[in-house]
């Protein structure tokens, strides 16, 4: 029983180990004494409709000015309901889309009716946060009196300067947008960020029964985090390594473009246009402030949401270093290593690569195409033939210095941490471009042939740079030790023949003198 008990204790998840990233730092005691330990952190999800500025276009699209009567698809000939902007009980202003509704007493924004048919009845509902936020749950738009037959959702990532389609909704996607209808269940990991047209929320089902139009965030998350979103760390790792994935759920503004109202399941009936209009009781946007993993709180201050930045960062999104901390370049925090993350880019690439890749079978995130002569999982090493500039930060463009080992003098192009190359025999110097004593340079170091001490050139020869003896005329050999005996040096021939003659003569004389005795 005991071993099991111990095992349970060991694997019981600590609050920190849950992968929620809700703590930015903690005071820990280690062998080196107490100190702060820093972690990646992010704020909790919030009900974002409360912080949005909501705008409805075009002007005059909201009903009640002048007041008008309308009816519903269920009761098409009982047009006794009135919208009157000047009477609070009968008004349907845009603020009713983001207020808190009590059960069964929904307040709603309502448009004018489609009196101008066949001119389209269109409206834009724009929500602006003046803050970058990250969706954490489905966007749910609740329509009263039926959902539009054609609409689309757009988003902006740059405070409304540019807009991008987010999802298309139609009862007939081909007819409305020329797109094949798809569902999020059709998505897989590689096309999770595809913009779809869905028919799921636009068909007539009775205005009371089906009220909601969704932008499915949970279902997309589930592709990586599992059906009950238990493996969020898996999703987080992917968000860091897959280009565009995190941005897909990130936005500063949302726009609902209402393009054709509910038709009650049939064609437009021109004789009763007062049953065609839009009415929205709620727009639920659940998201967290984007704080670049440097804050676990986000508060509404000075007219906008602001991250409460840690890790010596500052700015609305913690996107900059604090004033006196600009000696290190700013980086986003990182979800890895799981489960604590790191405040400053565990798998950032020290600015030497802008791309990371997730290697499935190794379960690691690694930098792709490291620049500035770096290499390694985080571009933290120098490439072969380069060494680390110890006085430069790891994110310096000049962090790796070329070894510059002499091609002839060194064994290979590698050098050690101090930039010293490995020399071939006879070579020396940091770059191996000099020779030891007793060696001379000729595309590398070679042992000397002559010198002034042991290998002296003879017969009047002189030593040229240790490479060879320059012999005086008539001598040869590496040290000029041999006399030359070719046709231009008759001396040599005659001298030797004279010698032979002399010896012969001597022998003859000897013999003769002996005979004479």
Ligand X SMILES: *[C@@H]1O[C@H](CO)[C@@H](O)[C@H](O)[C@H]1NC(C)=O
Q: Which residue has the tokens 């749910």?
A: 140
Q: Which span sits near ligand X by CB under 6 A: 73-81, 188-196, 458-466, 501-509?
A: 188-196
Residue 162 touching ligand X (CB under 6 A): no
Residue 142 touching Ca ion (CB under 5 A): no
Report H helices in 210-355: 218-225, 232-241, 245-248
Residue 316 touching ligand X (CB under 6 A): yes
Q: Please give the torsion angle defined by the CA atoms of residues 306, 44, 153 and 215, in that order, rounded to the nearest 10 degrees.
A: 180
Cβ 41 to ligand X shortest distance, Å: 11
Residue 96 touching Ca ion (CB under 5 A): yes
List the x/- string, 246-265, binding to ligand X by CB under 6 A. Answer: ---------x-x--------
Contacts with Ca ion by CB under 5 A: the residue count is: 5
Question: Among 163, 177, 204, 358, which residue interacts with ligand X (rule: CB under 6 A)?
Answer: 163
Tell me how far apart the alpha carbons of residues 40 and 42 are, in angstroms, rounded to a whole number.
7
Query: Other C-beta atoms within 10 Å of 413: how many?
Result: 16
Query: Other C-beta atoms within 10 Å of 6: how many?
Result: 10
Residue 107 touching Ca ion (CB under 5 A): yes
Tell me how far apart the alpha carbons of residues 462 and 414 are, in angstroms, rounded to a whole number.
39
Whose Cβ is closer to Ca ion: residue 142's or residue 336's? Answer: 142
Cβ 143 to ligand X shortest distance, Å: 18
Residue 147 touching ligand X (CB under 6 A): no
Q: Which does 281 bind (CB under 5 to 8 A by kind): ligand X, Ca ion, none?
A: Ca ion
List the x/- string, 21-40, binding to ligand X by CB under 6 A. Answer: -----------------x--
Three-state helix/strand/coil letters over 389-420: CCCCCCCCCCCEEECCCCCCCEEEEEECCCCC
Tell me how far apart the alpha carbons of residues 466 and 178 are, in angstroms, rounded to a whole number.
86
Q: Which does 398 bind (CB under 5 to 8 A by kind): ligand X, Ca ion, none?
A: ligand X
Are the C-beta atoms of residues 359 and 366 closer than 8 Å to each other? Answer: yes
Tell me how far apart the alpha carbons of residues 442 and 430 are, in angstroms, rounded to a whole number.
18
Question: Which whole-number Å values give the CA distances from 332 to 7, 309, 364, in the listed order?
Answer: 36, 12, 19
Three-state helix/strand/coil letters over 466-505: CCEEECCCCEECCCCCEECCCCCCHHHHHHHHHHHHHHHH
Whose Cβ is closer to ligand X: residue 286's or residue 316's? Answer: 316
DSSP state of 385: T
Whose Cβ is closer to ligand X: residue 167's or residue 202's? Answer: 167
Q: Which residue has the tokens 């924004």?
A: 109
Residue 314 touching ligand X (CB under 6 A): no
Of the candidates 328, 331, 289, the residue with the CA atom closest to the CA atom of residue 306: 289
Whose Cβ is closer to ligand X: residue 142's or residue 198's? Answer: 198
DSSP state of 79: -
Residue 194 touching ligand X (CB under 6 A): yes
Residue 110 touching Ca ion (CB under 5 A): no
Residue 45 touching Ca ion (CB under 5 A): no
Cβ 255 to ligand X shortest distance, Å: 5
- Going 82 to 84 to 89 to 95, the CA torsion angle's sign is positive
- The torsion region of residue 466 among left (phi > 0), alpha (psi -120 to 50) and beta comes to left
Q: Which span sits near Ca ion by CB under 5 A: 121-129, 275-283, 340-348, 399-407?
A: 275-283
Tell me how far apart the alpha carbons of residues 52 and 50 are, in angstroms, rounded to a whole number.
6
Cβ 171 to ligand X shortest distance, Å: 19
3-state secondary structure of 20: coil
| Residues in 167-206 that interact with Ca ion by CB under 5 A | none
Tell me how far apart the alpha carbons of residues 390 and 406 are, in angstroms, rounded to a whole number.
22
Question: Among 101, 137, 396, 413, which residue interacts with Ca ion (rule: CB under 5 A)?
Answer: 101
Residue 416 touching ligand X (CB under 6 A): yes
Q: Is residue 116 classed exposed, middle or buried when 0-12, 13-18 and 19+ CB atoms within 10 A define those classes?
A: exposed
Residue 417 touching ligand X (CB under 6 A): yes
Whose Cβ is closer to ligand X: residue 68's or residue 154's? Answer: 154
Q: Which residues pair with 35 in a beta bridge?
A: 28
| Residues in 447-506 that interact with ligand X by CB under 6 A | none
**Closest chain position to Ca ion (CB):** 107
Q: Which does 327 bind (CB under 5 to 8 A by kind): Ca ion, ligand X, none?
A: ligand X
DSSP state of 272: -
Question: Among 281, 332, 353, 373, which residue interacts with Ca ion (rule: CB under 5 A)?
Answer: 281
Tell me how far apart the alpha carbons of residues 257 and 57 are, in angstroms, rounded to a whole number.
9
Whose Cβ is closer to ligand X: residue 71's or residue 192's? Answer: 192
Residue 3 touching ligand X (CB under 6 A): no
Q: Which does 101 bind (CB under 5 to 8 A by kind): Ca ion, ligand X, none?
A: Ca ion
Residue 196 touching ligand X (CB under 6 A): yes
Are the C-beta atoms of residues 201 and 212 closer than 8 Å to each other? Answer: yes
Q: Which does 343 bind (CB under 5 to 8 A by kind): Ca ion, ligand X, none?
A: ligand X
Cβ 283 to Ca ion shortest distance, Å: 9
Residues that bind ligand X (CB under 6 A): 38, 57-58, 122, 124, 130, 154, 163, 182, 186-188, 191, 194, 196, 255, 257, 302-304, 311-312, 316, 324-325, 327-328, 343-344, 389, 391-392, 396, 398, 401, 416-418, 420
Residues that bind Ca ion (CB under 5 A): 96, 99, 101, 107, 281
């Amino acid at each position: 029983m005991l071993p099991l008990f111990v095992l349970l204790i060991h694997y019981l998840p600590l609050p920190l180990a849950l992968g929620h990233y809700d703590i930015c730092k903690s005071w820990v005691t280690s062998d080196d004494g107490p100190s702060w330990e820093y972690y990646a952190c992010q704020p909790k999800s919030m009900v974002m409709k409360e912080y949005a500025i909501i705008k409805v276009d075009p002007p005059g699209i909201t009903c009640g000015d002048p007041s008008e009567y309308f009816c519903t698809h269920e009761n098409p000939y009982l047009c006794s309901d009135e919208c009157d902007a000047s009477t609070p009980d009968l008004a349907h202003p845009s603020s009713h889309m983001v207020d808190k509704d009590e059960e069964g007493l929904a307040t709603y924004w309502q448009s004018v009716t489609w009196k101008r048919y066949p001119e389209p009845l269109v409206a834009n509902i724009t929500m602006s946060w003046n803050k970058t936020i990250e969706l954490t749950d489905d966007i749910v738009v609740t329509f009263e009196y039926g959902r539009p037959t054609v609409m689309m959702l757009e988003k902006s990532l740059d405070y409304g300067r540019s807009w991008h389609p987010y999802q298309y909704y139609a009862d007939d996607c081909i007819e409305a947008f020329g797109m094949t209808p798809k569902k999020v269940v059709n998505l897989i990991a590689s096309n999770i960020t595809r913009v779809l047209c869905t028919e799921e929320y636009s068909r007539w089902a009775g205005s009371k029964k089906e009220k909601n139009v969704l932008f499915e965030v949970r279902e997309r998350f589930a592709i990586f985090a599992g059906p009950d979103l238990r493996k969020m760390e898996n999703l987080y790792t992917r968000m860091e390594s897959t280009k565009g994935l995190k941005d897909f759920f990130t936005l500063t503004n949302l726009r609902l473009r209402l393009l054709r109202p509910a038709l009650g399941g049939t064609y437009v009936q021109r004789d009763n246009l007062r049953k065609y209009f839009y009415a929205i009781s709620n727009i639920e946007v659940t998201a967290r402030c984007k704080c670049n993993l440097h804050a676990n709180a986000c508060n509404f201050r000075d007219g906008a949401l602001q991250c409460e930045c840690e890790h010596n960062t500052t700015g609305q999104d913690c996107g900059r270093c604090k004033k006196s901390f600009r000696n290190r370049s700013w980086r986003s925090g990182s979800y890895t290593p799981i489960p604590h993350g790191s405040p400053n880019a565990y798998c950032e690439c020290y600015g030497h690569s802008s791309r990371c890749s997730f290697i499935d079978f190794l379960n690691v995130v690694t930098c792709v195409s490291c620049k500035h002569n770096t290499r390694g999982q985080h571009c933290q090493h120098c490439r072969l033939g380069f060494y680390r500039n110890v006085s430069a930060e790891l994110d310096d463009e000049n962090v790796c210095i070329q070894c510059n080992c002499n091609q002839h003098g060194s064994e290979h192009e590698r050098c050690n941490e101090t930039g010293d190359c490995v020399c071939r025999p006879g070579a020396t110097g940091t770059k191996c471009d000099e020779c030891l004593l007793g060696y001379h340079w000729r595309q590398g170091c070679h042992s000397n042939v002559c010198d002034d001490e042991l290998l002296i050139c003879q017969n009047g020869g002189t030593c040229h740079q240790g490479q060879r003896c320059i012999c005086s005329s008539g001598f040869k050999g590496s040290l000029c030790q041999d006399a030359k005996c070719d046709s231009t040096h008759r001396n040599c021939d005659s001298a030797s023949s004279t010698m032979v003659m002399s010896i012969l003569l001597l022998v003859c004389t000897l013999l003769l003198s002996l005979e004479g005795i």
